[in-house]
Amino acid sequence: MPAEPLSKAGLQDVIALDTAISYLDTDREQILIKGFDLIELTQHIGYVEMIHLLFEHQLPNTEQVKSLEQRLKDQCDIPTSLWTILQELPQETHPMDAQRTALSVLAGFDQSLHDCSVQANTHRAYRLLATLPMITANSYYLLNGKPTIVTDSSLSYSANFLYLLTGRVPSKLEERIFDLSLLLYSEHELPNSTFTARVIASTLSDMYGALTGAVASLKGPLHGGANEEVMKLLLKVNTPEAFEELLQEKLRQKEKIMGFGHRVYAKKMDPRALIMKRALIDLSDQRGDDQFLRMCEAGENLMEREKGLFPNLDYYAAPVYYMLGIPIDLFTPIFFCSRTVGLCAHIIEQHQNNRLFRPRVQYKGTPYQFI
């Protein structure tokens, strides 16, 4: 009988660390965050409440939400030289790479960079959440030779973020749907980017470095980059039948279809995708335009039939963002902005109870050779 391999490709099902932040309980079909099920939370809270939950370890009351909204408005000052640096980037730079550069640059402006205490880390995490929407939107405008935009402090965190991305004050429905997407993306246990951030943090490197690594990880199409790829696919054709044919052809070519499958959910539906699908239905109803909805449903049915695979969150987030008027290049940067709260919570936890990550390998190379 062949021996069991010691290593597991892609670390599938390997328990890498202990955490009190979140857990994907696939038996109970729950995404537990600080003991609450994310799907249930979507009925009761918005993204700002999630920030409070992850950093203060409890759900906020109304006063605390108001004061957090205010804090995020008050702390959104950005060093002017950051804009100068971003302006120098070649026009072809993807906004994810601009975001990565920006995070890296911000380290130099932090006077207490090497203080990895919970207090210092939490303080800088709040600042990052306050500034990232403006940095993300304006780096896109700078790359495209467009004038930058300033925050509208009369708006809520999510409404202002969407306003920065589109240049238009959103309707209540648009604000609610965008906020919901941020909430759904906010935290998801130990995906590649979160693991990357924790591995970097485990050397006692700073939060900016850990986040910079996480942006690079999240950019990949097998991870966060999938939402942009889904939209590009949807825009190739304009009927459900043509979309089915396009996916069939890709399957025949043994290509992966972005927006389907998930390491943890595997052949089950990502529960967040159902909530995003509902948001797409609401948006389609309100606009009287269900073209993307019908195409997505056709793709979903085909993938279940042909491969037994289900959509992940990126599949339905893509048409929702497109219908909200957000440029495609900003889809993955938005995912990163919303995930920043979860990433920072993990970096804080890693620094608080640290042990260096340093695994071993199963050597498959040439055995020892005499010279």
Ligand X SMILES: CC(=O)SCCNC(=O)CCNC(=O)[C@H](O)C(C)(C)COP(=O)(O)OP(=O)(O)OC[C@H]1O[C@@H](n2cnc3c(N)ncnc32)[C@H](O)[C@@H]1OP(=O)(O)O
Ligand Y SMILES: O=C([O-])CC(=O)C(=O)O
Question: Which residues are the active-site residues?
Answer: 223, 262, 314
- Least distance from C-beta 89 to ligand Y, angstroms? 26
Q: Does 217 bind ligand X (CB under 6 A)?
A: no
Q: Which is nearer to ligand Y, 23 or 357 (CB)?
A: 23
139-168 residues near ligand X, rule: CB under 6 A: none
- Least distance from C-beta 270 to ligand X, angstroms? 7
- Which of 81-89, 111-119, 149-157, 308-316 is the region at the interface with ligand X (rule: CB under 6 A)? 308-316
Q: Which is nearer to ligand Y, 30 or 64 (CB)?
A: 30
Q: Which one of ligand X, ligand Y, none is in contact with 323 (Cβ closer than 5 to 8 A by kind)?
A: none
Answer for which of 163, 260, 310, 331 binds ligand X (CB under 6 A) is 260
- Which of 65-73, 174-182, 233-241, 257-265 is the region at the interface with ligand Y (rule: CB under 6 A)? 257-265
Q: Which one of ligand Y, ligand X, none is in contact with 186 (Cβ closer than 5 to 8 A by kind)?
A: none
Three-state SS string over the chain comes to: CCCCCCCCHHHCCCCCCCCCCEEEECCCCEEEECCEEHHHHCCCCCHHHHHHHHHHCCCCCHHHHHHHHHHHHHCCCCCHHHHHHHHCCCCCCCHHHHHHHHHHHHHHHCCCCCCCCHHHHHHHHHHHHHHHHHHHHHHHHHHCCCCCCCCCCCCCHHHHHHHHHHCCCCCHHHHHHHHHHHHHHCCCCCCHHHHHHHHHHCCCCCHHHHHHHHHHHHHCCCCCCHHHHHHHHHCCCCCHHHHHHHHHHHHHCCCCCCCECCCCCCCCCCHHHHHHHHHHHHHHHHHCCCHHHHHHHHHHHHHHHHHCCCECHHHHHHHHHHHCCCCHHHHHHHHHHHHHHHHHHHHHHHHHCCCCCCCCCCCCCCCCCCC
- Least distance from C-beta 312 to ligand Y, angstroms? 6
Q: Which amino acid would we find at residue 36?
A: F
Q: Does 10 bind ligand X (CB under 6 A)?
A: yes
Q: Does 14 bind ligand X (CB under 6 A)?
A: no
- Least distance from C-beta 222 to ligand X, angstroms? 4
Q: Which one of ligand Y, ligand X, none is in contact with 89 (Cβ closer than 5 to 8 A by kind)?
A: none
Q: Does 191 bind ligand Y (CB under 6 A)?
A: yes
Check: CB of residue 31 under 8 Å from CB of residue 38.
Answer: yes
Q: Does 324 bind ligand X (CB under 6 A)?
A: no
Tell me the per-residue interface mask from 100 to 139 with ligand X, x by CB under 6 A, - otherwise: ----------------------------------------
For residue 289, report the phi and psi dihedrals to the nearest 5 degrees.
-145, 105
Q: Which is nearer to ligand Y, 65 or 337 (CB)?
A: 337
- Least distance from C-beta 263 to ligand X, angstroms? 4
- Which of 128-136, 154-162, 256-264, 278-286 is the region at the interface with ligand X (rule: CB under 6 A)? 256-264
State how beta strands 36-37 and 22-25 pair.
unpaired
- Least distance from C-beta 150 to ligand X, angstroms? 31
Nearest to 302 by CA among 233, 203, 355, 363: 233
Q: Does 188 bind ligand Y (CB under 6 A)?
A: yes
CA dihedral 170, 174, 175, 179 (to 10 degrees): -140
Size of the site for ligand X (CB under 6 A): 18
- Least distance from C-beta 189 to ligand Y, angstroms? 6
For residue 32, report the phi and psi dihedrals to the nearest 5 degrees.
-85, 125
Q: Which is nearer to ligand Y, 69 or 314 (CB)?
A: 314
Answer for which of 71, 123, 256, 263 binds ligand Y (CB under 6 A) is 263
For residue 24, report the phi and psi dihedrals to the nearest 5 degrees.
-90, 100
Q: Which is nearer to ligand Y, 100 or 188 (CB)?
A: 188
The CB-nearest residue to ligand X is 261
Rounded-to-integer distance, Cα 82 and Cα 80, Å: 5
Interface positions with ligand X (CB under 6 A): 10, 222-224, 226, 256-263, 307, 309, 312-314
User: Which residues sit at the interface with ligand Y, rule CB under 6 A?
Assistant: 188, 191, 223, 262-264, 312-313
